[in-house]
Amino acid sequence: MAKENRHTVYKAMIRPLTMMGVERRLFFLALLLGAATFNLFYSLLAGVLMFAIVYAFARICAEVDTQMLPILLRSFVSRPRYDAARRGPAHHEAEPARR
């Protein structure tokens, strides 16, 4: 019988890096958008509101699926692949009626 190899994996190694329940890159994005809004409008309320909106959106997405936003952001960069099974739109020109 073959001997089983067991490897210890610690939870900290596979757990995503989060800040307040949101991936850290999205948290800093919300923070920077809040700061930019504050600098643009000179309003602390506008900056805090922008941070809260982006943070809430990221938090909801993190609860549904942790990889949803990274996949969505990568989809803007990659170009669509050709699918041979998918048919393109048919282009037909109407002929004038003969009299």
Q: Does a structural domain hold residue 39?
A: yes
Is 99 or 18 the better-scoring residue by pLDDT?
18
pLDDT at 47: 97
Classify residue 71: in a domain, yes or no. yes
Out of 7-16, 33-42, 69-78, the most confident range is: 33-42
Strands of 1-99, DSSP E: 18-19, 22-23
User: Is the residue at 8 inside a domain?
Assistant: no
Looking at residue 26, its pLDDT comes to 86
Domain around 39:
25-75
Count of domains for the chain: 1
Is residue 91 assigned to a domain? no
Q: Exposure of 37 by Cβ count < 10 A (0-12 exposed, 13-18 middle, 19+ buried)?
A: buried
Per-residue model confidence as pLDDT tens digits over 16-42: 778 888 888 889 999 999 999 999 999
Domain presence at residue 69: yes
Full-prediction pTM beyond 0.75?
no
